[in-house]
Structure 1
Amino acid sequence: MESEQWNHDQHSEEIEAMCRSKAEEFRLLGYEYVTSKDIWDCISRNYDKDGMPPLHKLVNDIYSLKANSYMTYLTLAAYRGLN
């Protein structure tokens, strides 16, 4: 059976499209200034310790991101001075 590991560069366009889709969803909900980079920054902070997850988990993390979780991330980032 093939390994679940994947090459980030190989899938970067697809990941960007998923993040762009999620940002558009948030804009429809009234969060006007969300970008795909913002979505990626929010999602990828969870991968600092363990590295990139399998592709199916990454897709799930992007598409299951809730606006409330994103706003919590922004709030904590503002308190830490990261944003």
Structure 2
Amino acid sequence: MAKMNHPYESYYVKVRPFLKSKREEFQMVGLNAVTEEDIWGTLTKNKWKRPQDNIHLHELVADIVTFSSNQFMTFQMVEAYKSPSLFEPLSEEELKELLKE
């Protein structure tokens, strides 16, 4: 499930049919592993990272409907580049976290 601390989280249930439709659209272009939660998470971290106080439901729906697979993939690529490199050595703290039982 998407993070539950975004100001628009109360709209999630209402916009879920539009997220489902967008997921199906993404599947038609070959993005089969994308979930509704992935789309919601990308929108909250990217398009809605600065939430408006008096947002209307139709504005959120419009953002979902116009959200493209290219926008989604661009955001995912940027996030992947931000993540730590697999070839960098781990810090002692990271190593402990990995090896704890």
Please state which band the TM-score falls in when normalised by the shorter chain.
0.7 to 0.9
Counterparts in 2 of 1:8 and 1:31: CA distance versus 1, 3 Å = closer
User: What corresponds to 2:64 in structure 1?
Assistant: 62
User: What corresponds to 2:31 in structure 1?
Assistant: 31
Q: CA deviation at 1:8?
A: 4.8
TM-score by length of 1: 0.75
User: What corresponds to 2:98 in structure 1?
Assistant: none
Q: CA RMSD in A?
A: 2.2
Which one has a bigger Cα radius of gyration?
2
TM-score by length of 2: 0.63
What are the ranges of 5 or more consecutive residues in structure 1 without an aligned counterpart? 1-6
- Distance in structure 2 (CA, Å) of the matches to 1:24 and 1:68: 15
- Distance in structure 1 (CA, Å) of the matches to 2:68 and 2:49: 20
More helix by share: 1
What are the ranges of 5 or more consecutive residues in structure 2 without an aligned counterpart? 1-7, 84-101
Q: Percent identity?
A: 30
Alignment of 1:1-83 (within 5 A): 8-9=9-10, 11-45=11-45, 46-51=47-52, 53-81=55-83
